[in-house]
Amino acid sequence: MASRIKQVVKRTGAIVPFNRERITNAIYRAAVAVGGRDRSIAEGLTDQVIAVLEENTPPGHIPTVEEIQDIVEKVLIENGHAKVAKAYILYRYEQSRRRRKKIAKSDRDSGNIPYRKIWEVLSWAVDHGVNTVEGLNARIALGEFPEIVRESDSAYEEDLATAAEMIKERGNDLKMVIIAGPSCSGKTTTTAKLSDQLRKMGLSLIALNVDNYFFDLEFHPKDEFGDYDFETPQALDLELINDHLVRLIAGEEVRVPRYDFKTGKRCDNATPMRIGPKEIILIDSLHGLFPDMTQGVADERRFKLYIETLLQMKGPDGKFVRWTDLRLMRRMERDATYRAYDRRQTLEHWHYVRSSELRHIIPQINTADYIVNGALPYELPIMRARLIAYFEKWVEEYKDDPLRVDVFLRAERVYNLLSSVAPVEDDSAIPPTSLLREFIGGSCYEY
């Protein structure tokens, strides 16, 4: 049944069409966060929210987002969904706090990275003349792009060597190595390279692919555009992952599920797995630091490595390049190269990626045993040549769309950045062992 509420006032003041799916998705997302998977309940609660909204909205008044959210909280509590209401209230509070924080301070990706690590990366950038876009462009103009590639790759390899030595020093107590980090930070290549180094040191590694533990697609939250949210840790069966890890470390055999991304279905008990007394479980996961995934495993049995694109380079506006923008461009190229996924879809989906990072990944950084810098200064001129035409087009297309304000702001920011960078179209100086090859193609590693 159609609602008489036709429009909503957003926090920005923009008036947009009313969409009941936004309410249903918000309720369902809160339910998923506490273990609920019944979307029909969320739809029934949405009916109640709309009924209360219509009853309390005077003729001619356009309700605000905040007014609707207040009603959602009230309906959840009155229907006995206390846990869901708490999750919804906490999420709402976190979003509000994040907006206030963004307004109150200059923009940086994270305050959770230790200052010593940031200083180390910045010092390297200054020493190599790539701490500003102007400096990077100057070196490219001198024909030094191949040298920038070699210097950047060498710094990354040294970082990995340090991590490998730390893992080896942990000795026989260690049973699990986790490589975690946000989307497109370089986890997959880092995992492959670190595995090679550890095997050369005499360690035996057994990979566990936690992507096989996704819930069926029908249980994933999605938005009014039909976009599924794979970025939340609750998209994974965390309880089953933790149970299997505990049993594997105890020497038991488990049967690992298999997830079919084409059908969106999981087949349980698919593959038997057991580890030997001297073998170490290797996990490459977006949410490897999320506590629920490994809560049954003692700290001394785990080594947790975190990788992030810690680029320390200022643009022409005097602001540091955002790490999240580097990873957005990487994901666009990777998904277009390997997954036949349109770059525009990546741009529009990025708010899910970023929201999940801020809630579930970044707060856990301080639990990592070591942090690796996965940023490569030479990726900017490569991305300029590949992507600037797309971003120029998107800036025009999204600038007047009130439903896609976040998309426009992101596209405009990245377009301005790329416009300031000297393009490099020839990527032959980038070796097949480079981390960047994970995203632009031509890697010697299998993904």
Domain-ending residue, one of 76, 104, 132? 104
Q: Measured in whole angstroms, how far is the alpha carbon of residue 369 from the centre of its chain?
A: 20
Residues 121 and 97 in one domain: no
Q: What is the distance in angstroms between the CA of the first residue and the CA of the last residue of the chain?
A: 47
Q: Assess whether 177 and 296 both reside in one domain.
A: yes
What is the count of structural domains for the chain?
2
What pLDDT is recorded for position 84? 83
Mean pLDDT along residues 165-169: 93
pLDDT value for 105: 46
End-of-domain residue from the set 55, 78, 104: 104
The whole-angstrom separation of Cα 64 and Cα 2 is 19
Q: Are residues 14 and 121 in the same domain?
A: no
* 1 is a domain residue: no
DSSP 176-205: EEEEE-STTSSHHHHHHHHHHHHHHTT-EE
pLDDT at 254 over 90: yes
3-state secondary structure 293-348: HCCCCCHHHEEEEEEECCCCCECCCCCECCHHHHHHHHHHHHHHHHCCCCHHHHHH
SS3 163: helix
CA-CA distance, 419 to 363, in Å (whole number)? 33
Q: How far is the C-alpha of 43 from the C-alpha of 300, rounded, in Å?
A: 45
How far is Cα 227 from Cα 49, in angstroms, rounded to an integer? 23
Tell whether the model's pLDDT for residue 179 goes beyond 60: yes
Q: Which tens digits make up the pLDDT trace of 137-164?
A: 999 999 999 999 999 999 999 999 999 9
| Per-residue confidence (pLDDT) for residue 408, from 0 to 100 | 96
Whole-number Å distance between alpha carbons of 53 and 60 = 13
Asked if residue 110 has pLDDT above 80, the reply is no
- Are 120 and 89 found together in one domain? no
* 375 assigned to some structural domain: yes
Residue 239: exposure state from Cβ atoms within 10 A (0-12, 13-18, ≥19): middle
Q: How far apart are CA 130 and CA 109, in angstroms?
A: 19
pLDDT of residue 417: 97
Judgement on whether residues 325 and 420 belong to the same structural domain of the protein: yes
Same domain, 251 and 149: yes
Chosen domain end from 104, 126, 159:
104
Q: What is the pLDDT of residues 182-212, one digit of tens each?
A: 999 999 999 999 999 999 999 999 999 999 9
Q: Which residues span the domain enclosing 369?
A: 115-440
- Give dist(CA 327, CA 376) in Å, integer: 11
What are the tokens at 73?
């909280």
Determine, yes or no, domain membership for 59.
Answer: yes
**Shared-domain flag, residues 93 and 217:** no
Whether residue 406 is found in the same domain as residue 426: yes
pLDDT value for 10: 79
For residue 202, being part of any structural domain is answered with: yes
Residues 30 and 121 in one domain: no
CATH of residue 277 = 3.40.50.300
Residues 378 and 329 in one domain: yes
> 222 pairs with which residues across the strands?
228
The mean pLDDT value for 371-382 works out to 98
User: For residue 422, which phi and psi values (nearest 5 degrees)?
Assistant: -70, 130
Judge whether 110 lies within some domain. no
The pLDDT assigned to 298 comes to 94
**So what's the pLDDT on residue 36?**
82
Backbone angles phi and psi of 320, in degrees to 5:
-70, 145
Mean pLDDT of the chain: 89
389 and 274, same domain (yes or no): yes
Torsion angle in degrees (nearest 10) through CA of 324, 371, 183, 128:
50
Rounded average pLDDT over 416-434: 97
**pLDDT over 50 (residue 348):** yes
Give, for 95, the enclosing helix (H) or strand (E): helix 82-104
With bands split at pLDDT 50, 70 and 90, how would you rate the model's confidence at 97? low
Q: What is the pLDDT of residues 263-302, one digit of tens each?
A: 989 999 999 999 998 899 999 999 999 999 999 999 999 9
Query: pLDDT tens for residues 311-323?
Result: 999 998 989 999 9
